Structure 1
Amino acid sequence: MSEAPVLYLIVCAAPPAQRIGELAELLAADGWRVCLIATPIAATWLHRDELAAQTGHPVRADWRRPGDPEPHPPADAVAVVPATFNTLNKWAAGASDTLALGILNEMLGAGPPIHVFPRVNAALAAHPAYRPNLRRLREAGVVVHDGDVLRSPDEMTPSRWAAVVDAIRQARSRG
């Protein structure tokens, strides 16, 4: 029997991040080995030790030192949940000033399926850079999902997380 596929779950600093353990649990139940990578601010919101115990992998937010072993197995797929305005725009521009962005840029070139679930408020979504940058990511092969999937944390019901799991499951079945 082969090992379960690996999903890099990139977590940005938006309210749903505070409940990312629920999503990681559902993804694991769906057959994924989940490796969490957080933006620097999101990392301060997470219970990293608990999430590491839950997933069996360290929650990464910092670059590893040269010569240090890679703490995560290679990714079969990537999901950015929640994806913020800042991360999406910097990623589309090719910035790699955080580990999360560095991994996203590398994965874009490596070819695994990448799913993005934005959590961007209406004012930021109206910014002139936002839509062209989403288009640029789509043209590069990223699947950008409807931002309404992720609402405020009090609305992060199991059915909303299930929509994320279903979308990611479709990536696995195509792979």
Structure 2
Amino acid sequence: MVLNWIDQAPRRVLALISVACVAMLAFGMYLQHVVGLEPCPMCIVQRYALIGIAIFTGLASARGQRGWWMTFALLAVLTAGFGAFVAARQSWLQWYPPEVATCGRDFYGMIENYPISRAIPMIFRGSGDCTAIDWTFLGGSIANWSFICFVGFGLVLLLLVVRALKVGNRGGSGYSMA
């Protein structure tokens, strides 16, 4: 049933992923501005990955040309993979915190005061902020749930592209972009 829906309405699937990313970003803003949780550098990088996926899937769903939406869907797959990597790294830091965890600079402080070649390793090294678990749902931290969402988005997008390629290779006209 799900595969039929993906085959019949890929633009709707892409639009749904875009809306889901925007909803996740809105929830992150709620946690930050209403609940009072401060995002760590890795959380901010994950937000940028969500923004990237939302933009790519939104653009992919905007036009019905097969090459257009497949290109943006592939970019969204890569962005989802990057987001999953960052979320997995943060989850690892939460499960196995380093012996010495310091609350280093915030994300923007790193970017403003260091060259990008030095700031990126600092972000992925994590800080005391990145190891803290301030909020949980069903036993999982925000990083754990982000990882699950990124992997889910990536798998659905990859399935969408692979199935479109199979249809195209069989000599079909491609998906009907409903």
Q: Normalising TM by the smaller chain, what interval?
A: under 0.3
If you compute each CA radius of gyration, which structure gives the higher value, 1 or 2? 2
User: TM-score when scaled to structure 2?
Assistant: 0.22
Structure showing the higher strand proportion among its residues: 1
- Higher RCO (C-alpha 8 Å, min separation 6): 2
Structure showing the higher helix proportion among its residues: 2
User: TM-score when scaled to structure 1?
Assistant: 0.22
